[in-house]
Structure 1
Amino acid sequence: MLSKTLHISTADGQADAFAAFPEGGEKHPGVLMYPDGFGIRPVLRDMACELAGHGYYVLVPNIFYRHGPTPVIELPEHIGEEARPAVFAQLMPLIQAHTEERSLSDADDYLRFLTAQPQVGAGPVAVTGYCIGGLVAMRTAVAHPGQVAAVASFHGPVGAVGAESLAKLTARAHLGHAEGDLTPEDLAELNQSLDAAGVDYTSEIYPGTLHGFTMSDTDAFDAAALQRHWDRLLPLLDGALGRS
């Protein structure tokens, strides 16, 4: 597996990014992976490499690049409950500043960069994301219906996308929600919007999970839920990007 740090030119500057892809010089389907609010760090690099090992070129951008390169804020090795107040005091202003307008402008540049890489084959791409990255992934898929063939969001606040925008979604989708993130009633309302839009999707609450369940460097981590995430994500990407 190969990996490297790259820099993406955007309308507002340079976004650093992490890329992982198989060795051998062949071309592979592209996947844009949006990190959670804690940003690019070892756990995200490991997840990108694992996904790349299944035959994908994976690009993970620093979505908060306007505030500095990775690491934008200093993080403890394990983001436990004691550390969260201080971390979130630094993090929330960055999240609040990352408006829909900014995320969509960046998405244009990220996708342009991704598809221009020599290791990325022609054809559609996929987008996946975690926490705020899940919301940005959905917004990216809605904004690029002819290019994004699959989208996945894990413990992301995807309800913020809104039914009007979801009506424009053409990508195949999987939404994996934490049990603490939405009620069964909220899930039913979201799924009704997807049904009305005719989206090919799965959307489910992962049992017994907390927000952030995929991230092994947090107290919310759930190993079984992370495996469920892979069990949902890989078939989605394989089917939508022509690998099965």
Structure 2
Amino acid sequence: MPTITDTITTSDGTCQVTLATPDGDGPWPGIVMYPDAGSRRPVFDEMAQKLADYGYAVLVPDVYYRHGEYAPFDLNTAFSDPDERNRVMSMMGSVTPDKMADDAAAFFDYLESRPEVTGSTFGTTGYCMGGRTSLIVAGRVPDRVAAAMSFHGGGLAADDPGSPHLLADQISAAVYVAGAENDGSFTPEQAETLEKALTAANVEHTIETYPAAHGFAVSDHAAVYDADAAQRHWDAMERFFGAELG
């Protein structure tokens, strides 16, 4: 089935989303794929379709919808151009944990209402800021999340009251985290902090570090994309969601 574009009404407005499904007859388990700091764009529609082809209905939201119409980001230059860096950092900061949770509830309601989707619990996955969102949603909306993944996510165990590791005792989902090497946003020390928090909370989890740079899984971020690490992440998603949602 082709990817469709739709809108979801949230408590703050109207969020544009895409929904990708496999060919054939459903329904399928639902997954929300949270994009990186560049938000929803063609590469994430392609990635959602690839994940959908494993047997899922995959929703990708525009996490910056509260800003109305905005110029798209090019992550190859967004953090090196001072004006673009200020813009992207400001928009990233506007997506607070409260807003993540409110939006997620609307996304899950939407998935549950779709004939293509089965069940009332879902998977989440995300990249960079989306990886953090995936874990925050697992802790803030725990009754709706069965499996949560994070790829090169930052701020997962930060000195911040909104850090996902502080929600460990509220998470009921299985968790998979793949960090990047030499990533200041998720250091070995932060990985250890997250590991201890999830273990203490008896959360089923895996935390790995891939031998690749931050951003390794997203192909339009050419400077850091790593084909081997990206394939490893696809294999991990197929295995993890197959076990937890299949």
TM-score, normalised by the number of residues in structure 2: 0.90
Q: How does 1:36-55 map to 2 (within 5 A)?
A: 36-55=36-55
2:194 corresponds to which of 190, 194, 198: 190
> Following TM superposition, by how much is the alpha carbon of 1:102 offset from its aligned partner in structure 2, in angstroms?
1.3
Q: How does 1:108-187 map to 2 (within 5 A)?
A: 108-157=105-154, 158-160=156-158, 161-181=163-183, 182-187=186-191
Q: Is the 8 A contact 2:132 2:164 kept in 1?
A: no
- Give the SS at the match of 2:9: strand
- Give the SS at the match of 2:71: coil
- Give the SS at the match of 1:24: coil
Tell me: CA distance 1:63–1:81, structure 2 relative to 1, closer, same or farther (3 Å): closer
Q: Which residue number corresponds to residue 22 of structure 1?
A: 22
Q: Which amino acid aligns with 1:141?
A: A
Q: Which residue number corresponds to residue 233 of structure 1?
A: 237
- Give the SS at the match of 1:88: helix
> Following TM superposition, by how much is the alpha carbon of 1:90 offset from its aligned partner in structure 2, in angstroms?
1.9
Q: Is the 8 A contact 2:78 2:88 kept in 1?
A: no
- CA displacement, residues 61-111 of structure 1 (integer Å, 9 cap, x when unaligned): 101000125xx32334xx435874243232111111111111111111111
CA distance in 1: counterparts of 2:172 and 2:79, whole angstroms: 40
> Following TM superposition, by how much is the alpha carbon of 1:112 offset from its aligned partner in structure 2, in angstroms?
0.8
- Tell me whether 1:102 sits opposite 2:99 in the alignment: yes
Q: Which amino acid aligns with 1:239?
A: A
CA distance in 2: counterparts of 1:88 and 1:217, whole angstroms: 18
Tell me: CA distance 1:123–1:189, structure 2 relative to 1, closer, same or farther (3 Å): same
Q: Which amino acid aligns with 1:74?
A: P
Q: Which runs of 4+ in 1 moved over 6 A?
A: none
Tell me: CA distance 1:81–1:13, structure 2 relative to 1, closer, same or farther (3 Å): closer
Tell me: CA distance 1:183–1:132, structure 2 relative to 1, closer, same or farther (3 Å): closer
Tell me: CA distance 1:92–1:183, structure 2 relative to 1, closer, same or farther (3 Å): closer
Range with bigger deviation, 138-147 or 126-135? 138-147
> Following TM superposition, by how much is the alpha carbon of 1:11 offset from its aligned partner in structure 2, in angstroms?
0.4
Unaligned runs of 5+ in 2: none
Unaligned runs of 5+ in 1: none
TM-score, normalised by the number of residues in structure 1: 0.91
Tell me: CA distance 1:184–1:120, structure 2 relative to 1, closer, same or farther (3 Å): same
> Following TM superposition, by how much is the alpha carbon of 1:172 offset from its aligned partner in structure 2, in angstroms?
0.7
